[in-house]
Structure formats: structure tokens, C-alpha cells
Amino acid sequence: MRSSPLFIGESCRPPADDEIEVSLFGPGVGECVVVHLGHGEWIVVDSCCEVGTTEPVALSYLHALGVAPESSVRLIVATHWHSDHIRGMARLLDACGQATLVCSAALENGTFVRLITALDQRPMMESSGANEFHRIFALLKARPASARAATPKWAIADRSLYEDQARNIEVRSLSPSDAAKTLALQELAALMPRAGMPKRRTVVRTPNENAVVLWIRSSGRHVLLGADLETSANSAVGWTAIIDSTRSAAGRADIFKVPHHSSLNADDPRVWSDLLVADPVAAVSQFASGTKPLPSKEDVKRLMARTPHLYCTGSPTGWKPTAKDHTVEKTLREVTRNFRTITGPMGHIRLRASLTETTPITVQLGNGALQLAA
């Protein structure tokens, strides 16, 4: 299967009205999923930017397809507030004036807005995406109060975020659970900066536990987008809460965005047995930073035992570290634990299939994306 950039020639043909498309982008640190729901309607899940630019890859791709994002994007979903998942999202939201912003209900509290505002005013403090969220909420505030997209929609387990009954298509959030929301709101209140408060990490409990998992269904297809949701010892949160819910997604998905770069702590075997068809098409974004790039050889072996159709936006083993100014790096690491050096290409996995019939899924790979093998 040939791997090449997808922004040229025939690859820039937009999907047909009756086609679903799931495009996963990843530059090594960051992730964005662009989904066509049929008839020229799109959603964007998370955001990342091409290396060396501030342009969200979702905008670049939609423009390359000849799609007008200002009128075609229905939802922009921030699955959680880690900076590598929302980089460029304010720019994206500004360009998609008709899109409704979707955030985890774990942030549905005035405390979160006050928190990110306070943190944005504290220089050199680790913000885990607080700066980007500050710009996002400023944009929403500037929209006319009468505008349909002026306020966020809050995702929680078993909530319909978008539905077209005439075409029998729906986007539904499967998380966070009520318990995850409660825990997150308690922690956000405790994190509000106070006079004399020492510098600390913005988040103690991982935002991954509150990530928004999406279920997309049509008459012929189901898609599961796993965000960065993790498993948990607490059965009321994470993947266990989704799987054990009596209101869980109906049907089984044949397209799966693997959660959290294939990390073991995000992989529940029951997701594969209870929510997915046998041998689904699975896409994962690589994480090529830190001491252990993902997916590791062990991750690939584990996932290949569950499906032979496993694709990744890039190969971490092919990445080389860049030269670093260790004095600058030391200073940055003193004030942030989320500092990352991004050096890779914007890998692209594109999946297209019929919305109405159970037909084969077409896979195209670009800019270093590849099919994984054990």
C-alpha cells in the first residue's frame, strides 16, 4: 500500500455524499480526527498543527478538498484539555463560524473558566492547554449571544451531540461518566490559584479520565473514536464505565481510533470483544517523544493479536532526536512538564466507506503513515 502526501491530485477528491470519511492526523506529538458525516457535513475532533506553523491541519485538509469550513463543519470536539490535542483549536473555531464547540462535561463549571483565566495570567506556569482554552472561550464570548454556536455543548455519557434522523446518522458521546465528572469538578475547585499559592501542576488527576469518546452510527457503519480515555481501578470511570453501561452504544464498530497512542493503560480487552466487530480497521497516532515512543513493539504485538488491520500515522522507531540547547531545555522543564520537541511529518490515515451499506473500507496512507505488522 503506497504511502504519500494526500493533499495532491486525485487524493484531494472530497468524499461522495453517501461516504463516511475518518481521517487521522498525527505529527508525533498531537492528534486530529476529521470526519465526513455525508452530504458535505463534517466534524473535527481535537486539533494539531503542521510542524513549524500555526495552521490547524484540519483547515489545511478541508481547504485542499475544496470544502468551506465556515459553513460545512458542524462540531469541533475538544476531547480533553491536554495541549497536544487542542493546539490550534482557537484558530480552527474562529474559521468554522457555524460549528458548535463540544467539551467534556467535566469542564462544565464556572470554576474551569476562572481557572484557565487565572493560570493564563500567571507567567511561566505550566498550563496543560489552559492558554489555548482561554483563547477558545474568548472567541465564544465574542460571538453574538443569539448565535446557535455561541455556547459549548457539554459531552457526557450517552448524550446525542448531532443527529440527522432523515439520513439516520448520529454522533453520540459515551464519556465522561457522572462519576468522572464529579471527581474532576472537585479537583478543579481545589486547583484555583490563591494568594501565596506555590506553583504546581495544573492537573493532578489525568484529564484522560474525562476524555470524550465518540460513537458515530449510520445505517451501514459504526465508528468508535477512543480519544485518550484510559482504564481505571475505579469501575465508575474510564472504559469500564462505558462497557458496563446498560445505555452503551448499540451495534459494533468496524472503524476504531485506538485510544492514547495504543498505551497499555488505555487498552481494555472488552472494548474489542463488546464494542467492535471481529478484525476492525484500527488507526492509531504515534507518540514520538520521551523515553518510550508509542506504539512500542509490545503494543503492536498486543494489538495485532486483535486485528490484522492496524495502521499508524508514523513509525516512532524511524525518528531521530534533534539537537537541543540544554540550557534552554532545562529552563523550560523547570516550568512545564508538557514540553515536547515536535520533529516529524504530519502522518495521515484516511478511511472511506459507504454510510448506508456494509462495504469494504478503503484505506489510504500519506506522509509516513503505515500499516503495522507484528
- Residues 298-334: tens digit of each pLDDT: 999 999 999 999 999 998 665 444 444 444 344 434 4
pLDDT tens column, 11-21:
889 999 999 99
Lowest mean per-residue pLDDT among 84-88, 94-98, 184-188, 205-209: 184-188
For the cut 90, the answer to whether the pLDDT of residue 36 exceeds it is: yes
For the cut 50, the answer to whether the pLDDT of residue 337 exceeds it is: no
Look at 103 and 184; give whichever has higher pLDDT: 103
Per-residue pLDDT at 327 = 45
Q: What is the mean pLDDT of the chain?
A: 83
Pick the CATH number of 9-371 from 1.10.287, 3.60.15, 1.10.3470, 1.10.10: 3.60.15
Paired with 230 in beta bridges are: none
Look at 133 and 360; give whichever has higher pLDDT: 360
Helices 130-142 and 110-120 pack at an angle, to 10 degrees, of 120
Q: How far apart are CA 257 and CA 181, in angstroms?
A: 23
Per-residue pLDDT at 340 = 44
Q: Are strands 370-371 and 310-312 parallel, antiparallel or unpaired?
A: antiparallel
In 3D, which of 347, 206, 219, 217 has the Cα closest to residue 283? 347
The domain ranges of the chain are 9-371
Per-residue pLDDT at 265 = 94
Confidence of residue 354 (pLDDT cuts 50, 70, 90): very high
Per-residue pLDDT at 194 = 54
Per-residue pLDDT at 192 = 53
b/e string for 308-333 if b means 16 or more Cβ within 10 A? Answer: ebbbbbbbbeebeeeeeeeeeeeeee
